[in-house]
Structure 1
Amino acid sequence: MSQKLLVRRVAVLGAGVMGAQIAAHLTNAGVDTILFDLPAKEGPASGIVLKAIANLGKLSPAPLAAKGLAEAITPANYGSDLELLRECDLIIEAIAERMDWKQDLYAKIAPFVADHAVLASNTSGLGINKLSEVLPEQLRHRFCGVHFFNPPRYMHLAELIPARTTDVAVLEGLETFLVTTLGKGVVYAKDTPNFIGNRIGVFSILSTIHHTQESGLGFDEVDALTGPLVGRPKSATYRTSDVVGLDTMAHVIKTMADTLPDDPWHAYFKSPKWLEALIAKGALGQKTGAGIFRKAGKDILVLDLEKQDYRASDRTAAPEVVEILKIKDPAEKFARLRESQHPQAQFLWATFRDLFHYSAYHLADIAETARDVDLAIRWGYGWSLGPFETWQAAGWKQVAQWIADDIVAGKTMSDAPLPDWVFDGREGVHGAEGSYSPVQNAKLPRSSLPVYKRQRFPDPVLGERFLQGETVYENDGVRMWHDGDDVAVVSFKTKMHTVSDQVLDGLQEAVTRAEKDYKGLVIWQPKEPFSAGADLAGALGLLQAGKVDAFEAMVANFQATSQRIKYSLVPVVAAVRGLALGGGCEFQMHSAKTVAGLESYIGLVEAGVGLLPAGGGLKELAARASVAAGPGGDVFAELKKTFETIAMAKVSNSAVNAQELGLLRPTDKVVFNAYESLYIAKNEAAALAESGYRPPLPARRIQVAGDVGIATFKMLLVNMLEGRFISEYDYEIATRIATVLCGGEVDRGALVDEEWLLKLERRHFVELAQQDKTQARIAHMLKTGKPLRN
C-alpha cells in the first residue's frame, strides 16, 4: 500500500498567468492555498500577488468557479513569508521558464520545506533532473515535474514527470491528488524537452506551418481544414497560435531548437520569417488585438503573405475535400486524401503522414506507451483522436507502407526510418489488453492505482471496451442497467439527452422498478450533456398541428415524472455534467441529491424560447423559498434571489455558481473529475438508502408571496422595460414567471400546496406556447441555436 499524500495546504510559487490560475483551481477544489511572488517595490509587500488575485475575476474563461473564492487565496511574498512554507504539504513552483531562476528559488526555499512535503515544478519543458541538481539530498526524492495545461481549470491534462530520484510513493500520492481532488487526467512523461503534449503538439503545428508554405494555402484556408473537419477544436492551428500568443509560440519553438539538436526534424525547429516579423512589430495575437488574424469592426482579417498585408478571411475548405473528410470509413478517407490531386487534400495527407512519422519515431524516448501520447494530445490539445488512434483507425499496415514509400520518395520532412516495431505484423498499438510500449515490447494495461477504481468508464482509447452493465429495462427513450449491486442506473438514449415522451415514460418505469428491486437509482449519461431539456421540435410539431390537448398532456406527464422522482421510496440521485438545461435542470432539482461535475452549466432557460419552466421547477423554487423564509417570514426576499436567474434564462458557469444561483442545493455535491461522477453518485444513493431514506412529506403548506409579490416584481420589470433592457414580450413572459413563483393572485402569506403551483405552471406554460411570438422563438432556436428577441 503506497503512502497517502495528505494535502491540507498548498503553496504556489509565482503569481504569473499560470501560477495564479493553478492557485485558483486549487481553491475551487477547496484546498487551502497560499500564493507567493516577489516582494513589491512599493505599497504592501505582497502587492504583486494581491494584484494577480484581483485579476483572476477579470479573466475569461473564468479561472474561479465562483468570484468570491478569490478571497480564500492567501497572498504571500518571498521576502517576509517563507516561514508559511513549513505548514505546506505540497509546493508547486510556477515561475518563468528559466532554469537559473527556478534553481535560485529552490535554493532559497529549501530550508523551509517540511520533511514530508512534495515539491513539484510546473514547467512546460525544462529538464526535471537538471532542476533537481540544486536540491538538498533529503528533498530530491520528493521532487518531480507536474505540467498543467492552460487554462488549468478547464484543461484535463496534467503531465507528471519523475526525476531519477523521485520516490514511487510520492508520484502515486501526487497522481491520486491530481486525479480526484483537481479532476485531472494524468499522463506520465519521460524527462525529455517539452515532454509529450507539447513535443507532439508543437511538432504538429511546425509541420502545418511547413506544409502551408509548400502548398501555397492561406492561413484561413488551413484553419478551415485543421479544425472540426478533422476532429480538432474550432480554433484549429493559426487561431490557436494567436490565442496562445505568438511570442509564446516562438519561445517554445526556440526551446525545441536549443534542446533537441539531434532530432532528425531539427531543421524545421525555427520560427518562419513572417512570425518573427509579426512579433517584431508587437502583433502577438489575441492579447495585442492583432496577430495572424485581426478584427476590424465586425470583420475578421487574415495575414496574406503575398500581399504582405491583411485581407478578408474568406477562404474555406474546398467542397470536394469536404466530401472526402465526410467519409465515415477512416481507411477509405485516408486513401482518397492521398490520391487526390487537390492541394488541400495533399496538404492534409502530408501533415498527417509527418505527424505519424514523428510520433512513431520518438515514442520510445518520450513515453511509456502509445496510450500516453494519444491521451496527452486529446486532453491537452482537444483533439477527438490522438495520432496513434488516427493511424490505427485508418489501417495501420497500409498507412505504414505509404509513409515508408513517401520516405523513400523524399516527400517526408525527414528521411529518418520508421522504427522496426511499426512493421512487425501488427494491426495497431491499442487493443483490449492494453497499449504498446516499445521499451518493453508489450501491450501494457492501464494503471492499477486504487484511484482509478473510481472511474467506471474512463476516457477510452481506440480498441478499449468497458462492460456496459446488465440491462434491466429499455425503451426508445432510456436504458436502465446495473452492475450487480444494489443501485441501478438510468441513461437517456435521445440526441443531446433531450426529454421526449419515451424518456418521461421510461423514467417513471425506472423509478417503479428501482423501488421494487434496488436500494437507489442514479440518473447518469455516458457522455455530456446531462440533458439539453425538453424536445422542442416535438413540442412545436404538436402546437403547429393544433393539438393543444396532447401538448397539455405532455406537460402534465413532465410534471408527473418530476414528482415521481421526488417522492420515490428509494433515493434518486442525479449525476450531472455539462449542460443541464430546462427539464434536465428540473429533474436534478427533484432528485434526493445531485452530484454535479465542476463543469456543469445548469439553467432554467425556458424564457429564452418564450416559455416558462413547467416541469415543476418554479413550484420547487416557490417551495424552497417558503422553507428558507420560515413560518411568517419574508418569502419575497427569498424569491428575489432566483427570479432574475429564471426570467433572464441565466446559466451557471460552474456547479459552484449553480449553488449561488439557487439551482443546486447547498447540500448537493460538486465533483472535480467527471469520470468519477457515476461512482460518487452511486455511493451517495447507497449511503442515503443505508441511513434509512424516506422521501420528503408532500408539501401541503407552502407560504407564497401572492399578489403583493407579483406587483413588486412587476415594478422591477417596468423599469427594465422602460430602460429597454427587455422587450414587451420579455415583460409578459417574466410577469407570468413572477405570477407562478408568487403562487398566483392570492393574499400575501397565503398557504397553497404543490398541486396548486403545478396547475399554475401548466396553465401559463400552455397559454404562452399558443402565442405566435413563442412559436417564432422556438422555431428560431431550432434553426439557429440562438435565442430570438421579439
Structure 2
Amino acid sequence: MKTIRTAAVIGSGVMGAGIAAHLANAGIRVLMLDRVPDRLSPQDEAAGKSLADPEVRNRLAAEAILRLKKTNPAPFYDERYAERIMPGNVEDDFARLGEADWIIEAITERLDWKRELLARIEKVWTPGTVVSSNTSGISIAAMAESVGESMRTHVLGTHFFNPPRYMPLVELIPGPFTDAAIVSGMEQVLEQRLGKGVVIAKDTPNFIANRIGTYGLLVTLKLMTEHGYTVEEIDAVTGPAIGRPKSATFRTLDLVGLDTFVHVANNVYEHVDDPKEKENFAVPGLLTDMVRRGWLGEKGGQGFYKKLKTDQGSRILALDINAMDYAPSAGAIKSASLDAAKTAKGAAAKCKAVLSGTDKYSELAWNVLKHVLAYAAAKAYEIADSIADVDKAMRLGFNWDLGPFETWDAIGLTESAARMEAEGIALPEWVKSWIAAGNESFYTKQNGTTAYVHAGRYAEPADRPEHLSLKSLKAAGRTVLSNSGASLIDIGEEVACLEFHSPNNAIGADILTMIRKSAEEVRRNYRGLVIANEGRNFCVGANLMLLLMEAQEEEWDEVDRIIRMFQQAMLELKRLEKPVVAAPHRMTLGGGVEVCMAADQVCAYAETYYGLVEAGVGLIPAGGGSTEMAVRAGESGTDPDDDIQPALNKAFETLGMAKVSGSAPEAVKLGLLRSTDRTIMSRELLLFEARNAVIGLKRRGKAFHGEKGVKVAGRNGKAVLKLGARTMLEGGYISRHDYKIASKLAHVLSGGDVAAGTLVSERYLLDLEREAFLSLCGEPKTRERMKHMLATGKPLRN
C-alpha cells in the first residue's frame, strides 16, 4: 500500500464532493472526476463555448467545487482548501488515476455500473494503489469480481456517512480477497489522517449502521400505523427520551431523504433470503406514496414535516398520515413517562425512566426498543466481528447516545430479555446462553478497561495505547488532585492532565484554584501539563451566572477579586517552567480560549469552534484574552519598526464582533490560534497527541515566558480603531452600546493613552482590561445582555 498523499474521487455528487472536501481538509491533493456533459449550459452558450472546450468537459466537477464553497455547514475547514481539489472528467483524465495513491468511486448505487468502472480502473491501476467504494450497501465481493487478483487484493469498501466532514463514522468493508495489510493500513489512514471512527463491517447488505438503523425506522413506522400514533408523538418518544438524537425518527427521515431511505431498505429486501426478514424490510405503502408525490423531505420542501413561511415567520406543520395533509403542531407532547425522562440525567437514566412509566408513550418506547434490540442481537455476528463494533457504528453513524447493547445493559438485560420472551420476541441462542450462565450485562469493567461479551466470555478490546481515556485513568486510581470543578490526573510518561468537569465546564473559583494547585504539583513532580477533558465541549467560558449576581448586587470588589484571580491563574500557566499544552475540542469560548492562550502550544481538535465572545454579553475578554491579542499584534512584524496597526485592526474586528471559528484551521486565520499550534484530526487521539507535544517541548526546552515588554500602538492606534467603530455605528451596523464596548476594547488593545511604539508590561495591559471589564459590568445594557444569554443561550443586540 502506498503512503496516501494524493487521491482521486470518481463522482462529484453530494457524497463524492463531500469526501473530496474532507480529503482536502486532511492535506491530501484530490483529482475529482465526473462524466463529460452531453450538452452546453446556457452560460456555456452565452460564452460561445463548444463541447470540446476543457472548461465545458470538466464542468460537472468544477461546479461541484463551487457548490462546496457555498454549502452550509461548510465542508471545508478553510475555504482555501478547495484549491487542493482539481476538477477533471472520466474521458480526458482517466489515465491520471494511475498517479493516485487512493481511488474512491462514489458513483450511482448500481452494481453493473460499479463493476464496469472497476474493470476500467484496472487498466490504469498501479500496484499499491487502494481502490475503495463509497457504497452504502452493495457487496464489495460482487464488485471486485470484475477485476483480476492483483488489484482485487486492494479493493474494499469505505462507507462515509453524510456529511463526510461532520459525521464521524466510516465503515471499512474488506472483500473476501482484500489483503489484511491494506485493511490495517486504511484503518490507520481513516483514523489518523481523516479523524474518523472506524468499524470493520462484514460484506453484508447495508453493512452495520444502515442495516440496524433502517430496521428500526421501519419498525417504528409500522407501530405508528398499527397503533394510531401521530408523527409528533413518535418523534417525542424516539428522540432523547431513549438516547437518540433530537431529530428522532421522522425529522431524521426528512434529513436523509425518503427516496434515499427507500433505496436503502430495498437493498436489504432484495439481498436477504429469509422471508421474515424480507417482510421486515418491505417498504410500507405510506413511504411509496410520499415518494410518488415528491414529498421527499427537506430536499423536496416537505416530507413528514413541512415548513410554512408566513408574515409572522416560519411555522412547522406535521403530516397527518390519515388525511395525507399537513396540520399545525399540536404543541409539546407531555406525559408522566416523558417528563421523567426529561429530568433524568444521562441517556441510560432517561431510557430507564421512560420505560418505567405506565402510559402509552412508555409502551411505545418499549415496543420500539424490544424489536431493535432483539434484531441487533440476531444480526450482530453476521454483520460485525463484535457487539462493540455494532454499538460504535450506531453511536457514530446515527448519533445514538447508546448503541443497542449498551441500551440493553442500561435498561436491565435479564429483566428486559425475560419480558421480550414473554411477549413472543425470539432471542438468539447466544443471548439466552449468556444470561443462563448468570451474566447480567453485555459489558463489564475489567483491568481498568471496558470488556464486552464475545464467544461466550468477556473479552477486553485490543490494547490501543494511543487511545488515552481520562475516564479509564481515573477509574484506575490515577487522580492526583481533585475538587468540584476540576481534577489533575496522571496520564503517564510523567505528564499530568488538568481536566475540567464543572457544569458545562464553565470556569469558576473551583477551577481557578485547581489551576494554581496543578501548576505547583507539575512544577514539583511532572515533565509538563496537558489541559483537556472529555466533556461534550471543552469550555463555554466563565461562570456568567455568578458574575451577573455579583454585578446586580454591585459587589464590585468581589467582581474585581474574581477577575484578578482569573488573570493570576492564567499567569501561573504562562509562567510555569514546565511545558503546558491545551487540547480544546468543539465549543471553546471566552475563558476557555483564554486558558488555551496561556499554554505554550495548543493541539486543537479539528472540529473546535473557538472564539472570544465576551462582546456578545456586553463585556471584553478580561482573563488575559485582550492582553494576549495585544501581545500578538505587537509581535506581528519581523522587524521592530514594522507597523503593527494591520494586526491590531484584525484583532479588534475579531474580538469586537465576537467571531467564532468554524474549525481549528479557521481559528488560525482569525488570529486566535498561532501558526505554531497544531490541528488534530482525530478526537480519540487528541489527548495522546497533546501528551506527545508536552514531551517534545520538554525535550527541546521551553521558551522563557517571563515578563517582557509589549509594543503597543498607543493613542494613535486607538484613534484608528475607534474611527472604524464610529463608521459602523453611523452606518447602522452596530448599536450605541456596541460602540461603547468597542471603545473600551480599543483602549486596551492599543495600550491606552501612550505614544505609539511604547513598550508596556503585560501586567499593565491586564490592569487595563480588568478596569474596562469592571466599568462595563456596571452598565445596565450589559446586564441585560448577560440575563438574555443565560435565559435563551443567544446574544442580545441592544
Output the TM-score relative to the length of structure 1.
Answer: 0.94
C-alpha displacement of 1:262: 1.4
Distance across 2 between alignment mates of 1:395 and 1:52: 49
1:446 aligns with 2:461: yes
Q: How does 1:26-41 map to 2 (within 5 A)?
A: 26-41=23-38
Opposite residue 27 of structure 1, the aligned amino acid is A
Q: Match of 2:132, SS?
A: strand
Distance across 1 between alignment mates of 2:356 and 2:675: 59
Deviates more, 1:629-638 or 1:242-251: 629-638
Query: 1:337 and 1:591, CA in 2 relative to 1: closer, same or farther beyond 3 A?
Result: closer
Q: Match of 2:742, SS?
A: helix
1:564 aligns with 2:572: yes
Q: Match of 2:606, SS?
A: strand
C-alpha displacement of 1:281: 2.4
Q: Tell me the residue number matched to 2:381.
A: 364
Distance across 2 between alignment mates of 1:681 and 1:229: 36
Opposite residue 30 of structure 2, the aligned amino acid is T
What is the CA deviation profile of residues 13-42 of structure 1, one whole-angstrom value per residue up to 9, with x for unaligned ones?
211111111111111111222222223343
Distance across 2 between alignment mates of 1:580 and 1:337: 33
Q: Tell me the residue number matched to 2:497.
A: 489
Q: Tell me the residue number matched to 2:756.
A: 748
8 Å contact from structure 1 (residues 334, 349) kept in 2: no
Q: Match of 2:685, SS?
A: helix
Distance across 2 between alignment mates of 1:251 and 1:484: 49
C-alpha displacement of 1:347: 1.4
Distance across 2 between alignment mates of 1:514 and 1:218: 58
8 Å contact from structure 2 (residues 243, 348) kept in 1: no
Distance across 1 between alignment mates of 2:358 and 2:502: 41
8 Å contact from structure 2 (residues 551, 777) kept in 1: yes
Q: Tell me the residue number matched to 1:6.
A: 3
Distance across 1 between alignment mates of 2:318 and 2:623: 48
Q: Tell me the residue number matched to 1:429.
A: 442
Distance across 2 between alignment mates of 1:568 and 1:415: 59
Distance across 2 between alignment mates of 1:330 and 1:352: 14
Q: Tell me the residue number matched to 2:553.
A: 545
Q: Match of 2:465, SS?
A: helix
Q: Match of 2:332, SS?
A: coil
What is the CA deviation profile of residues 490-525 of structure 1, one whole-angstrom value per residue up to 9, with x for unaligned ones?
112311111111211221221122122222111111
Q: Tell me the residue number matched to 2:581.
A: 573
Q: How does 1:635-646 map to 2 (within 5 A)?
A: 635-646=644-655
Q: Tell me the residue number matched to 2:372.
A: 355
Distance across 2 between alignment mates of 1:507 and 1:276: 59
1:90 aligns with 2:109: no
Output the TM-score relative to the length of structure 2.
Answer: 0.93
What is the CA deviation profile of residues 155-180 of structure 1, one whole-angstrom value per residue up to 9, with x for unaligned ones?
11111111111111111111111111
Opposite residue 209 of structure 1, the aligned amino acid is L
Opposite residue 120 of structure 1, the aligned amino acid is S
Query: 1:522 and 1:311, CA in 2 relative to 1: closer, same or farther beyond 3 A?
Result: same
Q: How does 1:136-215 map to 2 (within 5 A)?
A: 136-215=148-227
Query: 1:638 and 1:340, CA in 2 relative to 1: closer, same or farther beyond 3 A?
Result: closer
1:378 aligns with 2:395: yes
Query: 1:119 and 1:469, CA in 2 relative to 1: closer, same or farther beyond 3 A?
Result: farther
Opposite residue 327 of structure 2, the aligned amino acid is R
Query: 1:625 and 1:330, CA in 2 relative to 1: closer, same or farther beyond 3 A?
Result: closer
Q: How does 1:62-81 map to 2 (within 5 A)?
A: 62-81=74-93
Q: Tell me the residue number matched to 1:654.
A: 663
Distance across 1 between alignment mates of 2:674 and 2:521: 27
1:126 aligns with 2:143: no
C-alpha displacement of 1:666: 0.6
Q: Match of 2:80, SS?
A: helix
C-alpha displacement of 1:398: 1.3
C-alpha displacement of 1:154: 1.2
8 Å contact from structure 2 (residues 338, 354) kept in 1: no
8 Å contact from structure 1 (residues 570, 695) kept in 2: no
1:587 aligns with 2:600: no
Q: Match of 1:192, SS?
A: coil
Q: How does 1:35-54 map to 2 (within 5 A)?
A: 35-41=32-38, 42=51, 43=53, 44=55, 45-54=57-66
1:321 aligns with 2:342: no
Distance across 2 between alignment mates of 1:498 and 1:324: 27
Q: Tell me the residue number matched to 2:48.
A: none
Q: Which runs of 5+ in 1 are unaligned?
A: none
Q: How does 1:239-258 map to 2 (within 5 A)?
A: 239-258=251-270
Q: How does 1:506-545 map to 2 (within 5 A)?
A: 506-545=514-553
What is the CA deviation profile of residues 217-276 of structure 1, one whole-angstrom value per residue up to 9, with x for unaligned ones?
111221122112222111111011111111111111222221224152322323333322
C-alpha displacement of 1:393: 1.8
Opposite residue 545 of structure 1, the aligned amino acid is E
Q: Match of 2:91, SS?
A: coil
Q: Tell me the residue number matched to 1:621.
A: 629
What is the CA deviation profile of residues 621-673 of structure 1, one whole-angstrom value per residue up to 9, with x for unaligned ones?
11111111342222111112222221111111100111111110011000011
Deviates more, 1:249-258 or 1:129-138: 249-258
What is the CA deviation profile of residues 361-386 of structure 1, one whole-angstrom value per residue up to 9, with x for unaligned ones?
21221111111111100110111101
Q: Which runs of 5+ in 2 are unaligned?
A: 39-50
Q: Match of 1:112, SS?
A: coil
8 Å contact from structure 1 (residues 203, 355) kept in 2: yes
The correspondence for 2:291, drawn from 275, 279, 288, is 279
8 Å contact from structure 1 (residues 212, 347) kept in 2: no
Q: What's the Cα RMSD here?
A: 2.3
Query: 1:8 and 1:442, CA in 2 relative to 1: closer, same or farther beyond 3 A?
Result: same
Distance across 2 between alignment mates of 1:302 and 1:79: 47
Identical-residue share of aligned pairs (%): 39
